[in-house]
Amino acid sequence: MEGIDSQIEILITEDGSSSLRRKDLQEGYHSTHGAIAESNHIFINAGLKNIERKPQINILEIGFGTGLNALLTCEFAKKEKQNIFYQTIEKYPLPKEITSKLNYGKILNMEEEFEMLHSINWEENNNLNTYFEMRKTAQAAEEISYKENFFDLIYFDAFAPQFEEKLWQKEVFDKLFLSMKDNACLVTYCCKGDVKRTLKSSGFQIEKLPGPKGKREILRAKKLASGIKHFLLLLILFFPMLAFSQKNIVENSQAVKETKNKTKVSKFHHTIGFNLTPIMLGGYKSFELQVLGDGDNFRRVKFGGLHYLNFLPYYQLDYNKKIYLTTYYRYNHVGFGDYAQMCNINFSYNFHKKESKTTVLLGAGAMYYKTNSKGGIAPVLYFSYNQKISEHFGAGLTMDIFYNPHFFANLSYTF
Ligand SMILES: C[S@@+](CC[C@H](N)C(=O)[O-])C[C@H]1O[C@@H](n2cnc3c(N)ncnc32)[C@H](O)[C@@H]1O
């Protein structure tokens, strides 16, 4: 925009940090209650600190403006020794005469970085410190084609919808959605009904969070990993086992035909099962009864709710109905920014009679787990009680002791 500097006025906000105001739009760059306080609240605390730590975090910012969000992110990268790649988009770049009057560098004790932030060339990758690499793009954000499946976090910090109508459209959010990795988040100060609906229609799961001083609410929108993806992963995992069992059945049935009385039946049996939770694949509504014993929150019973996704299929291979190998996979999403993936392998022994309809298993194994904040391998103690309902079907209860115990009711099919 021509002559943008004549339209800008500088002001000091309540926390002592400076900000700008567009006179022609009557629109501020930040809240008058505190520019640094607001950016920290919305983008750093609700955004950056909420996502999973990984070797590199890729961030996209829509609306570079004063560079405050970039500077706070650079500060985080330096303090936390976290590699960050930061791409920022600005439709109306500010001239140096204005950015040099901003006091963020001084307040945050990052004068050198703040100076660099504004002096580096546009359309070039540059490092502000060892951990923070950035690229500035001077273009309208709605006109850009973004790299797909790349960003972990988006700061959506452009002017409000009434001033930049084209930017808050579904087509733009669709593009941003595609540019994000699974479980990536978009954070914005704008909590308008229209914006929430548009984000939802683009596939985001949205969450309202308390706003900074002077603002009731802010928005965090998440791109959830699709249930279908997990289902396919499970199919891949289970396919070899199913193929093996199929071969077994064919061999056994031929043997039955040939030897009549002396049927040679395999000592291996296969069981596949699911917990009793009704699951809607590809959606996020599900029912689960979960009892957790983790101190303060000993009991949590949750029925329905939009933010709950739980898969718990399991596979069991037993030898002679005595020695069991059980493996299960679990993806659990509880609200925003809180998910867990687990993969168990347990060996157990059946304490009940071999030919009985009841199976009592006690075993131990290992669990690979991953949540947004941590991951690793943990030991597991495992207890399971199963009762045959018919020749193939069974039902039972499983208690899985990890750092907190989980109880599951399950249905199974043995072949
Ligand atoms: C609310 S200000 C916030 C800027 C910045 N994050 C900061 O901390 O100073 C909004 C910014 O978005 C920019 N902007 C407005 N429309 C845009 C668009 N369509 N594409 C990219 N940037 C845009 C404005 O020029 C302005 O710098």
Q: Of the segments 218-222, 307-311, 395-399, which one has the largest average pLDDT value?
A: 218-222
Domain of 279 in residue numbering reads as: 267-414
Q: Is 68 in the pocket of ligand 1 (CB under 6 A)?
A: yes
Q: Ramachandran region of residue 214, left (φ > 0), alpha (ψ -120 to 50) or beta? A: left
- Tell whether 46 and 187 lie within a shared domain: yes
- Tell whether 305 and 213 lie within a shared domain: no
Mean of the per-residue pLDDT values of the chain: 82
pLDDT for res 414: 81
Output the residue whose Cα is nearest ligand 1's atom 27: 65
- Tell whether 279 and 217 lie within a shared domain: no
Could you tell me the distance, in angstroms and rounded to a whole number, from the CA of residue 89 to the centre of ligand 1?
A: 8
Both tokens of 107, joined, read: 């307040």
- Tell whether 87 and 203 lie within a shared domain: yes
- Tell whether 46 and 183 lie within a shared domain: yes
Cα–Cα dist 223/199, whole Å: 10
CATH at residue 281 = 2.40.160.20
- Tell whether 201 and 295 lie within a shared domain: no
Cα–Cα dist 40/287, whole Å: 36
Report if residue 116 sits inside a domain.
yes
Cα–Cα dist 141/3, whole Å: 20
Cα–Cα dist 41/171, whole Å: 28
Report if residue 228 sits inside a domain.
no
Number of domains within the chain: 2
Residue 178: pLDDT above 60? yes
Q: Of the segments 111-125, 307-321, 378-392, which one has the largest average pLDDT value?
A: 111-125
- What CA–CA distances, in Å, run from 119 to 5, 102, 128, 355? 17, 14, 11, 79
- Tell whether 131 and 275 lie within a shared domain: no
Q: What is the DSSP letter of 122?
A: T
CATH at residue 157 = 3.40.50.150
In this prediction, residue 370 has a pLDDT band, given cuts at 50, 70 and 90, of confident
Report if residue 255 sits inside a domain.
no
Report if residue 57 sits inside a domain.
yes
Rounded mean pLDDT, 374-398: 84
Q: Is 76 in the pocket of ligand 1 (CB under 6 A)?
A: no
In the listed set 222, 247, 281, which residue is the last one of a domain according to the structure? Answer: 222
- Tell whether 205 and 276 lie within a shared domain: no
Could you tell me the distance, in angstroms and rounded to a whole number, from the CA of residue 311 to the centre of ligand 1?
A: 41
Q: Is 167 in the pocket of ligand 1 (CB under 6 A)?
A: yes
Find where tokens 């809180």 sit. Answer: 338
- Tell whether 188 and 39 lie within a shared domain: yes
Output the residue whose Cα is nearest ligand 1's atom 25: 92
Report if residue 369 sits inside a domain.
yes
Cα angle for residues 287, 291, 294 (degrees, 5° grid): 135
- Tell whether 217 and 305 lie within a shared domain: no
Cα–Cα dist 71/120, whole Å: 14
- Tell whether 178 and 280 lie within a shared domain: no
In the listed set 169, 198, 222, which residue is the last one of a domain according to the structure? Answer: 222
**Residue range 71-128, pLDDT digits in tens:** 999 999 999 999 999 999 999 999 999 999 999 999 999 999 999 999 999 999 999 9
Find where tokens 């990536």 sit. Answer: 184
Cα–Cα dist 327/105, whole Å: 54
pLDDT for res 124: 96
Report if residue 313 sits inside a domain.
yes
Using alpha carbons, select from 110, 48, 41, 115 the residue that is nearest to residue 82. 48
In the listed set 189, 222, 255, which residue is the last one of a domain according to the structure? Answer: 222
Q: List Cβ neighbours of 26 (8 Å cut-off, separation of 6 or more).
A: none
- Tell whether 193 and 309 lie within a shared domain: no
What is the b/e burial string over 303-328, where b = at least 16 CB atoms within 10 angstroms of the residue's CB?
eeeebbbbbbbbbbbbeebeebebbb
Report if residue 179 sits inside a domain.
yes
pLDDT for res 208: 92
Residues in the chain: 415
Using alpha carbons, select from 316, 314, 340, 332 the residue that is nearest to residue 410. 314
Could you tell me the distance, in angstroms and rounded to a whole number, from the CA of residue 29 to the centre of ligand 1?
A: 8
CB 340 within 8 A of CB 325: no
Which atom of ligand 1 lies nearest, measured to the CA of 39? 8
Rounded mean pLDDT, 379-394: 86
* H or E element at residue 405: strand 405-414
Report if residue 260 sits inside a domain.
no
Could you tell me the distance, in angstroms and rounded to a whole number, from the CA of residue 159 to the centre of ligand 1?
A: 6
Both tokens of 178, joined, read: 């595609």
32: three-class secondary structure by DSSP: coil
